[in-house]
Amino acid sequence: MNTALTALPVPATAPDLPPAVPVPLGNAAGLSVWPASARVASHGDVAVGGVSLAEAAERFGTPVYLLDEGEVRERCRTYLRAFPDTDVVYAAKAFLCRALLHWVREEGLGLDVCSAGELEFAVINGFPAERIVLHGNAKSPDDLSTALRLGVGRIVIDSAWEIARLSALVPDGARQKVLVRVVPGVSAGGHAAIRTGTDDQKFGLSLTDGSARHAIARILDQPHLELVGLHCHIGSQITTVKPYLTALRRMVGLLARIHRQHTVTLPELDMGGGHAVACRPGEEPLDIPSLGDRIRRELATSCTAAGIPVPRLTIEPGRALVGPAGVALYRVLAVKRTGDRVFVAVDGGMSDNPRPALYGARYAPRLIGRRSTAAPCTATVVGRHCEAGDVLAADAALPGDIHPGDLVAIPVAGAYHLSMASSYNAVGRPPVVAVHEGRARLLIRRESLADINGRDIGL
């Protein structure tokens, strides 16, 4: 998959926000998990991308999500440096919008999508279809036909049912390039809901029970399908390199077996993503340069030992590219002290960030816009929705004098917040604002009641 790109024109920006006066306190100010551009101002404000968060809240309202363009671009470049001669493919399910498509394309990355909707959105907005990989454990006929119509680069076969279904849709005289998603029997990931490398979950075809080998044999007999490689994704929020090396060795073993049994050399190996990011100070992200070095060395060593050529490597980072680039801003609506518990209720919640409720994600909220001298308290930051599980941060260290009207920021908010958001309780989804070099521009507007009402067309 060719990743060479022609640079696109830079879009016009909205009027600038007045930049904050920064004090470069860095990690000493508790900003270790914030974008690298984050700076604390003397009055307790924080600037990201040169833009004052307090000013952004006033201009765009709350809740609002800020996305640091420079942070996204630098993270793309970190991957390209760590994985030379590799196809780096952004996992769009983490977050998808027109501007982000432009950034990752301009930086030379490919794209992976999970539905006809994500695919068509990307192509309509200028992303080359041949540089897109289509995933999905249960692809609909529309997913598959849309992929073929648009000329998607790769389709990842996730079940035996897809083989005949896809083959029947490919036009006569054409061949669709496919990968097979293999479950290597490796348990890794930060929570049971995001571990995908073992046989007890819904994705892929098992290496252990032979279903992956059976599917491979069937695909090789299909004249309309061209098997170009294997795919493996073992989970998310993985903090160490070791599980990737174990999975890689097993995948190389399967490549070698295919070579022996079918005299076929598959030219591609996609090792997925799932690279951990730090959400709170003290947590350690996965070291991407170390991952790149060790994966590439292990791939070369294992292939030499197995007597097969080294395949072209693909990786699929999602959260690791956009998660740390995002900051969510909320306005405090109420503070309630019940016994020894302090509840800080904000104007967003599980409708814009369902991750704590789904798989126990933990964050480090921060008071923004004023400097407090009050002793800290341990608070539970909760949302506005009528659910006891609507908790954004269960053990947040916040000033003891926090009160309604204060601003609270949650960093590492760029991935799996708005991409999984809803309009629960008819609360519209927040806007997304890009910040870069002292400028702020609206990327996605706030969802209004008119938007929600407009979808309801019957009586």
Residue 367 lies in a domain: yes
Total count of domains within the chain: 2
Same domain assignment for residues 353 and 279: no
Q: What share of the chain is helix, strand, coil (3-state, %, to 5)?
A: 30, 25, 45
List active site positions: 386
Nearest to 227 by CA among 273, 203, 199, 262: 262
pLDDT band at 13 (very low <50, low <70, confident <90, very high): very low
Write down the pTM of the prediction. 0.90
Alpha helices in 315-367 (DSSP H): 319-322, 355-359
**In terms of pLDDT, which residue wins out, 282 or 30?**
282
DSSP-derived 3-state class of residue 440: strand
pLDDT for 148 equals 98
Dist CA 443 CA 92 (whole Å): 16
Provide mean pLDDT across the span 335-345. 93
Q: Which domain holds residue 78?
A: 70-323
Residue 458 in any domain: the answer is no
- Residue 69: CA count within 13 A, CB half-sphere: 26
Residue 5 lies in a domain: no
**Residue 239 carries which DSSP code?**
-
Query: Do 271 and 388 reside in the same domain of the chain?
Result: no
Of 300, 323, 346, the last residue of a domain is 323
* Ranges assigned E (strand) in 153-231: 154-157, 176-183, 205-206, 225-231
Rg (the chain; Cα; Å): 23
Asked if the model's pLDDT at residue 6 lies above 50, the reply is no
In the prediction, which pLDDT does 187 show? 57
Whether the link from the prior residue into 404 is cis, omega within 30° of 0, is: no
pLDDT 10s digits, 249-296 = 999 999 999 999 999 999 999 999 999 999 999 998 999 999 999 999
Q: Answer with the one of 291, 323, 355 that is the final residue of a domain.
A: 323
- Residue after which a domain boundary falls, among 297, 323, 349: 323
Q: pLDDT (tens digit, 9 = 90+) per residue, 143-202?
A: 999 999 999 999 999 999 999 999 999 999 999 999 999 998 775 555 454 445 455 656
Residue 13 counted as domain residue: no
8 located within any domain: no
Q: Yes or no: say if 271 and 312 are a contact pair by the CB < 8 Å rule.
A: no
Q: Are residues 188 and 316 in the same domain?
A: yes
* pLDDT tens-digit readout, 53-80: 999 999 999 999 999 999 999 999 999 9
